[in-house]
Structure 1
Amino acid sequence: MKLYLVPTPIGNLKDMTYRGVEVLKEVDIILAEDTRTSGKLLQHYGVATQMLSYHMHNEHKISDNIVKRIQAGETMALITDAGSPGISDPGFLLTRKLLENGIEVESLPGATAFVPALTVSGMPCDKFVFEGFLPVKKGRQKRLEFLKEESRTIVFYESPHKLLRTLADFKTHYGDERQVSISREITKMYEEHFRGSVSEAIEHFELKKPRGEFVVVLEGCS
């Protein structure tokens, strides 16, 4: 009668832990953000456990039913398409509901994109702020302005088609010379890291079209 939060590889399948595979084989049900994506991972590791679709569009609808099933004795694991459940991915809502009902939740350590991007950035990582994805519209400028005086290193996730817009916003709010480290496709074949000023980053990605998923590490206010 438990839920396991199981991280999955963010690119390289070898980053799946032995313990993670064991848990996925032993539970009664695997809650998967996208059963097609997760199916490839499970097939690779010979996991035959039944999957149930659980994602941001249905989590409010089915969370109560999952609570009842676990209370009835089932053990489940939650996985997302990549990385650790709850980190810019579904997981928080279900975890909170289970804890409110006295059900144990266990989180396994494993892959997540922002940690390697932060540690190779060359910026201070003893203290940092994880912002995830910025608001697309409502609240975006307010959030950027709120972070203007943040002295700790700031970590963002960004999609390829919004990267230049985000860098332009950094230039507007934080100036040309604020340093950034931008990592793409971490653990994958085309992993790359750009380090330089905001202006240099804009120039770089105007010439080289952004592709893949990005982690942007921004220098804190000095």
Structure 2
Amino acid sequence: MTKKMYRNITMISFIIGFMLAVQYNTVQSPAERNTVDIWEIRQQLSVEQERHSELLTAISDLSETVSKYEDKEFNNPEILLEQTVNNLKERAGILPISGPGLTLSVEPSQELIDFGYEIKPVSPELLIRLVNDLYRSNAHAIEIDDKRLTYNTAIRDINGQTTINSEPIGETNIEINVITPTYEQAEKLKNHLLASSFQDEFYIDNLVLTIHEAEKNVRINSVVTVQKSNYLTEK
């Protein structure tokens, strides 16, 4: 064989070897696929279905109210209007509200106190995370240390104190009242909180979060009072 033939054979062998190596690497390392656990997909679908059901219920209630207003045979539109106004006042926090729900208690850990650990008040960050989780779990109304939360409630740290709407809350013993639309949802919320990591997160801050049993009647006070003027007269 001539040197040219040896060179050609060497080049062809190199090309064949390179192609085999590429093919072997492709077989051993297939392209990664974005795989999601089926159970996780089912959970997400369940959450969306629950939200869809809640929206349908709200639409049904509003449609029923509109139908009553449009019904010419309805004899007491004033009563219906008053019910609608009172419902809006309850949602805005102007009127007290009661219904099914549950109570949470935040207390310092006694065993940590006995060992001399410093007990600090619950942080605004942890309280905000808890409140957001309660609202995501269909909480209808929330009251923390006798301070009712509304759509514009601010929870923040002021001079080292955790405040709600600029009013300081208790440093150690705090009671949180939660109202849900139904008793079944209160039970579901209790189980959700027991399965969550909130109790551990409070314990890291030397606090104990106690989740009490669901109740059929929890009362939450109003947050504001309606100011009425004595100088306006009807014309």
Q: TM-score, normalising length from structure 1?
A: 0.25
Which has the higher relative contact order, 1 or 2, with Cα contacts under 8 A spaced 6 or more apart? 2
Q: TM-score, normalising length from structure 2?
A: 0.24
Which has the greater radius of gyration?
Answer: 2
